[in-house]
Amino acid sequence: MSQEFQGKTVIVTGAGSGIGLATATRFVEEGAQVIAGDLDVSAVSGLSGPGSVTGVEVDLRGDGGERLAQAALDAYGKIDVLVCCAGVAPTRTGLSDTGDKDVMNTFDVNVLGVLRCARAAVPHMAKAGKGSVVAIASDFGRMPEPLFYDYCMSKAAVLSFMKSLSIEFGPQGVRANCVSPGATRTPIWEKPGGFIDLLAEMYGGMERDKVIDHFAKEHKKFALQRIGEPEEVAEVVLFLTSDRASFVTGSDYWVNGGSMPVY
């Protein structure tokens, strides 16, 4: 490990599982002081490495963003990096199943959660004259599907918000980028009633252990013939928040195994 984040203070939302947990893990391994936020942060207690981690139970639909920023400032007096991984991805049967309350709840977490965290953390970065923000968007933000109406809408909004953030705060040394994963093996896929069960039904009752392989090779026809792993997304996040990406801002990095053309 290079420990390139030695002494850096990093906030990671959605750190309790999936991409957020993989990202928090890598930052700790690289020496960062991580403030890990989620509804359930029990998983981060086992992280170890040259860095450190403090789990904070928060709900981003409320004052969670402010609490995470304050936790970082109270403990370390600064915020160097903000990574917004928290999100929900409900499935729909179509337009008639996409109700107002459902959409508002998705936006409350996926869009306003990012805005609230940025509003709490970015001014401190700007005051210091440097910082980096990464939000996890999705390839569905540009290539939507009707089974995920509100999720796709929310990720398109995140892409737009982060572009605006990069324009406003770039002159103060704060970079803002998105990472857009394709299909990635997270609890959203594997939990009961998750994507695997949904696809198994779509595929005529296919056995669960065959679904992902069929999805990657036959349905989406990924160039790499598989779905991604959370750790692969985390590596791109670390690159974008590091000094190696010092001239990268307002960008969207696709991490999707070649699942669809970029345009």
Q: How far apart are CA 6 and CA 34, in angstroms?
A: 11
Length of the chain equals 263
Q: Are 64 and 37 in contact (CB under 8 A)?
A: yes
Q: Which residues are catalytic?
A: 151
Residue spans of alpha helices (H) in 129-223: 149-169, 187-190, 195-202, 208-214
Largest CA distance in the chain: 56
Q: How far apart are CA 174 and CA 100, in angstroms?
A: 35
Q: Are 182 and 167 in contact (CB under 8 A)?
A: no
